[in-house]
Structure 1
Amino acid sequence: MAKKTDVTVEEKLRALYDLQLIDSRIDEIRNVRGELPLEVEDLEDEVAGLNTRIQKLEADLEVIDNDIKSKKIQIEDSKTAIKKYTEQQKNVRNNREFNALSKEIEFQELEIELAEKHIKEYRAQIEQKNEVINQTKERLEDREKHLTHKKGELDAILAETQKEEESLIQKSQEFEGQIEERLITAYKRIRNNVKNGLAVVPVERGASGGSYFTIPPQVIVEIAGRRKIITDEHSGRILVDEDLAKEEQEKMSAFFSKI
């Protein structure tokens, strides 16, 4: 193979236009998928988020359940203390001792009352969290079904197009390797700056492809001469003559049909 620097301008133009045709075909394949990959990714993130939320809520329930158990133990301890103080009151020697024990009993009764209040609050929290868990599980089930459906759509499209896309990407890289770096850099820059990704276009009806700006006749003659790289002064696209474009389109169509 000749060195890149030994390649003629015409060969460069043909290689650039072939590269454009390949990359445009890759663009078409990816457009068929549309937003599906992003939709699947968003759904996967949502499903993961819902699962995390359920796990957190269930962990909260476990903490609350332990708090209830703790309060019940506290109640039993207070009841035991009341029973003990009540028995001690039977053997007191004076009113001062009796009143001191009465205060202890009263304190333990307040402790029981407070613990029962907390248990009631905890049970209300359990009910509320269970309701949220059930709602979240319903939402999760719906999102999982939707995700399965979207994944099926995406897998079907990938099954049809993945092999072709991989072959085209490999071919695109091969063509890039045959073109000098400065032209590839310019090509990619133009592709990124135009909506349809067309960086190399043929002259059609006296104007660059997809443009309404007329190209001067002298410039059209120069383009047809294939002796230098000429760009459209309005869009910056690299221009090729119509005959070259038709020849390369036929060649690449034959290549695409074999993939």
Structure 2
Amino acid sequence: MENTITDRLKALTTLQVLDSKLDEIHRLRGSLPEEVSDLEDDLEGFETRKRRIEEEIKSLNNDIKERKARIEEFSGQIKKYEEQQMNVKNNREFDALRKEIEYANLEILTSEKKIRQYQDQIEQKKELLEQTTLQVDDKKRELEEKKKELEVIISDTMAEEEKLNKRIEAAAKHVEARHLNGYRKIRQNMRNGLAVVSTDRLACGGCFSIIPPQMHIELKQRSRMIYCENCGRILVDESFFNEVEEEGLPA
């Protein structure tokens, strides 16, 4: 475990350099991982819609079959009633059969109307199904392209990423727990992931706020941990980054 302020600051600077290199790899991937995830969600939505339309068409075809069966059934009844009318003994029986025939004809007309409605709905849904199928195909192609892009970047950077993760893990062991936790919290709060920065023309290298002269002197003296009063980043003298680069990063 590091003891001196200089050792602590150098350990934090080393960790920052390694983390920045890892951040650069992630930046190379850009928004591709999120784009792939969004496309997968979109594709799932279109495929769900396609399945639903197919089920609706199937259900409508079943309804048509049922209506055709009803037409056949009532047509058979009409034929039977008409034959019975030839053998009735009185007007009452004839009228009763006539009403049954009228009812059967009405049922046939209703079923024929329903069949036309179902057929119209099927045609509309087939058009929608065709559009949705095209959307599914387009999303599949787009997703495949994005996946290939991401796979190329990952394959090109995977070895370096694994190496950096191991070096970061090793470097973190040289940072006291309280400073490591503080460093990680600062990194999480910064869009660029910079928790440790050097000064640039008497200003914070992170937020570019002017640093008081006395603080700048203390940075040179390496006498204590100093944080930017504006953004909260850990400030170190520029020489720390130079030393880390010259001495090399932990393998």
Give the TM-score range, shorter chain: over 0.9
In the TM superposition, what whole-angstrom CA distance separates every residue of 1:129-149 from its partner, at most 9, and x where no partner exists? 111111111111111111111
Looking at structure 2, the residues matched to 63 and 31 of structure 1 have their Cα atoms a distance apart, in angstroms, of 50
2:243 to 247, 250, 253: 247
- TM-score if structure 2 supplies the norm length? 0.93
1:86 equivalent in structure 2:
82
Looking at structure 1, the residues matched to 144 and 62 of structure 2 have their Cα atoms a distance apart, in angstroms, of 38
- Long gaps (5+) in structure 2: none
2:179 equivalent in structure 1:
183
1:115 equivalent in structure 2:
111
1:215 to 195, 211, 218: 211
Report matched runs for 1:31-42 at 5 Å.
31-42=27-38
Looking at structure 1, the residues matched to 122 and 156 of structure 2 have their Cα atoms a distance apart, in angstroms, of 50
Looking at structure 1, the residues matched to 209 and 73 of structure 2 have their Cα atoms a distance apart, in angstroms, of 93
Q: Which segment drifts farther, 95-104 or 61-70?
A: 61-70
1:29 equivalent in structure 2:
25
2:9 equivalent in structure 1:
13
1:43 maps to amino acid: L
Report matched runs for 1:135-150 at 5 Å.
135-150=131-146
Looking at structure 2, the residues matched to 64 and 135 of structure 1 have their Cα atoms a distance apart, in angstroms, of 19
1:242 maps to amino acid: E
1:124 equivalent in structure 2:
120
Deviation at 1:172, TM superposition (A): 1.6
2:201 equivalent in structure 1:
205
- Paired positions, count: 251
Tell whether the 8 Å contact from 2:194 to 2:206 is kept in structure 1 after alignment: no
In the TM superposition, what whole-angstrom CA distance separates every residue of 1:19-76 from its partner, at most 9, and x where no partner exists? 1111111111111111111111111111121111111111111111111111111111
Provide the aligned C-alpha RMSD in A.
1.7
- Long gaps (5+) in structure 1: none
2:155 equivalent in structure 1:
159
